[in-house]
Every structure is written in C-alpha cells, then in structure tokens.
Amino acid sequence: MGRLSCATAAVLATFALSSVSLACAGGSDQSASDRADTSTTTGQSGSADQGDATASARRLRAVRVASFDRPVEIRHASGFPNLMFVVEQPGRIMVLRRGRKLARPFLDIRSRVDFDGSERGLLSVAFPPDYRKTKRFYVYFVDNAGNIRVVEFRRKSAVRARQNSARLVIRIAHPVNANHNGGRLGFLGNNLFFGTGDGGGSGDQPGNAQNLNSLLGKLIRIDPRKSGRRAYTVPASNPFVGRPGRDEIFAYGLRNPFRWSFDRTSSKQKVRIAIGDVGQDEWEEINYLNLSRARGGNFGWNRWEGFTPFDGGGAGTIKPSLVLPHPPNCSVIGGLVVRDRSLPALRGRYVFTDFCNGRILSFKPHLGRAAGRPTGLNIDNVTSFGESLKGTLFITSLDGSVYRIRQ
C-alpha cells in the first residue's frame, strides 16, 4: 500500500463521528496533570514546556455559546466590536451579537459551494482593516467544480451582506482530489494572505508544493482590491516578482495549511506567523517564525515531513517549531496567541490542538524549537480558534458548538 494521507484519516474520523451522537464533544475541566504526555509535542528532541500555570489551567472552562451547522471558523470585523461571524461549512455565515446567535444569516452562498461532508465547503471569511468604511469582505470556498475561490462581497447592514454583490478575486484550479483545500484568509494591512493545500491525494505526486509555477501548497499574498481591469494586484515586494515563479506566492512547500495566524503581540518590531500544516504518515507540524523569514521560504513538503525526510530531504528548507506524532494525532489545527486579559493561564501563549486528539495545548511563543503543554481543556473535533476585537478567545467544533474560553 502507498502512503496514507493523514488528512484522509481526519475525514474518516469525521464520517465515523457523524454516525453517532456528537453531543459528547465539549470542554472539560481536566487538569494538566490528568492529561500530561510530554512525548506528544516536541521540537526535534525537545521536552515539554515547563511552567507554573498548571494550577491556573485547572480553572479554564469551555462555555458553550451557541450551536451551528458544522462551524469551521469564527472571526471579528473591524469597527463592529459586538459582533462575531461564524462560518458554516455548508455555505452560510452566521452572526453572534453580544454573544447571542441571530436567526438570519449574514451571508448564504450554499448554492455556490461544494460541500461534500468532509473537507470541501465554505472555509473562511476575512474583513479588511477599512471594512467599516468600504463594506468589503472576502470569503474562501470550494466551488461546485472543486476549485478554490476567493470572492469579494459587500455588506448591506452590520448583520446582512448583499447576496448579489459577489466579485471573483481569484480562482485556483483544484478539481482532481477533494482533500487539501487549505482554508484561511487573513489581512495584514491591505494585503490578503491565504494558504492553499497541495492539491490532495497522497504524497503530492504532482509536486505542486515545490512547483513555483503552481499556486497549490503555498502561502499567497495579494491586494484583493480591483484595479482597473485587474481583479487583484500583487505587492511589488512579493519574493518572486521579477523572478521565476508566480508573483502571488509568498512562501511554498506546504501540505495543507488549514489554520494559521499572525502574531503581532510577541514582538514589537516584527510581525510573526504561526502555521499549522497538516501532515501525512508520521508528523503534524507547527511553524512559528518571523514573517520576514517566511517570505520566499520553503517549508519543505514533500521533501520533508516534520524533521523526517519524505521524498529526498535536502537542505534549504524551514524546519518546524514543533511536531505532533501519529497516533494519537491526525490533523493539526493551528491557533493563535491569546490576548485575553481574563485568561492569565493562557495570555501571551500560543494555543493549538489536533482534530483527532482534542487536547488543547499551548506554548510560549519564541523563535526556534518549542514544546507544548496541556491547558487542561479537551474539545473534540476543533476546527478553529478565534478572538473578538477585545481578545476574547473562542473555539469552534465540527459537532456544531462554539465555545468561549473562561477562567
């Protein structure tokens, strides 16, 4: 048998869970000592992150806020501090206003979205810094032909989008395999970043992730605003502008960067990025580094999986900050650096998990090797971490729940 796709394992787990009650998913108050297993998150040979927050971690609670239809992301919008937007994989964006779910969707594009019950669907929404003024926002989804689309919409009111305002920004062909679609949008200034999967299947046999003429298996950076006849423009500082390779590429060598985030709090001088990249046979990985280091960087897939040579190995690639072994992990869910002042056990720490494992882990952000420690929380089938404008921490689960983390 060939190499088994780890993302496929996550899909199988999803199908298995869909045949039984999902009500068991939730946030427990298990202590770090109850859940500790220092071998599950390591650098190349690192040990667990030691600290004195174990007692505080015992008090962390996951409080269920509301129920949704397969929520895969929760985001805030600049200028609207009382609203949170929840992305439902089948194709709707719902609204939480002051913690209460509104009955009417903000956006409903189910007819445009290929939701296959596994990895395809509506996967992300992002609001630019000038959203309150311009009313523009962007969604990332898999269309009915199986291809990735980033589409611009405009809002009608604070809680309603203009359904007929769609403008295609970019389409990336992805018709062969249903898995590895990437799936997160994020703004840094006026520039929109998003991570794409390698095209799916096993082992990236077409070699998309290492191919600089393909937009698959990449971190992409564009200015999504229309400019004349151009649907988007490319920043002149992108690393392959004027060189061989697609101008839109910011970094390459990724397998399936389903969830990633910027960290603008841990370094006063430099923006950092944390990428959760889904592994295949042996290792899930988290990459945490300065954004300037990621520019033009090669994260290694499919030459490497974690610290292990996969198809040739070789020099010149960015190595992970942390890896998660199989089993018990199967599909890493990258998180964010917590800013919530009401969570002293987590504030200033990067939180993350694995779709199959469910343990919420954290580490103190720093450049170089890291090792996670348990937070005491366990939530099944996590799909994303999000925060409000004030830093309140939320977690979405494929069982339908959105949780607020309290201490």
- Residue 151 bridge partners (DSSP): 139, 168
Kindly give the confidence (pLDDT) of every residue in the chain, 407 residues in length, as a single tens digit, with 9 standing for 90 and above. 333 344 444 443 433 333 222 222 233 333 332 333 333 455 543 334 444 445 445 689 999 999 999 999 999 999 999 999 999 999 999 999 999 999 999 999 999 999 999 999 999 999 999 999 999 999 999 999 999 999 999 999 999 999 999 999 999 999 899 999 999 999 999 999 999 999 999 999 999 999 999 999 999 999 999 999 999 999 999 999 999 999 999 999 999 999 999 999 998 889 999 999 999 999 999 999 999 999 999 999 999 999 999 999 999 999 999 999 999 999 999 999 999 999 999 999 999 999 999 999 999 999 999 999 999 999 999 999 999 999 999 999 999 999 999 99
The length of the chain, given as a count of residues? 407
Identify the pLDDT of residue 269.
Answer: 86
Identify the pLDDT of residue 85.
Answer: 98
Phi/psi at 239 (5° precision): -65, -20
CB 105 within 8 A of CB 97: no
Identify the pLDDT of residue 41.
Answer: 55
Work out whether strand 184-188 and strand 160-161 pair parallel, antiparallel, or are unpaired: unpaired
Q: Judge residue 24's burial from the number of C-beta atoms within 10 Å of its C-beta, 0-12 exposed, 13-18 middle, 19 or more buried.
A: exposed
User: Where do the domains of the chain lie?
Assistant: 6-406
Q: What is the pTM of this model?
A: 0.88
Of the CATH numbers 3.40.190.10, 2.40.30.170, 1.10.110.30, 2.120.10.30, which one belongs to the domain with range 6-406? 2.120.10.30
**Cα–Cα separations (whole angstroms), residue 349 to 145, 254, 407:** 40, 24, 15
CA distance 375 to 384: 16
Phi/psi at 219 (5° precision): -105, 120
CB 146 within 8 A of CB 175: yes
Identify the pLDDT of residue 17.
Answer: 34
Q: What is the CA radius of gyration of the chain?
A: 20
Identify the pLDDT of residue 59.
Answer: 87
**Cα–Cα separations (whole angstroms), residue 300 to 6, 218, 278, 283:** 17, 11, 13, 13
CA atoms lying within 13 Å on the CB side of residue 340: 22
Identify the pLDDT of residue 9.
Answer: 43
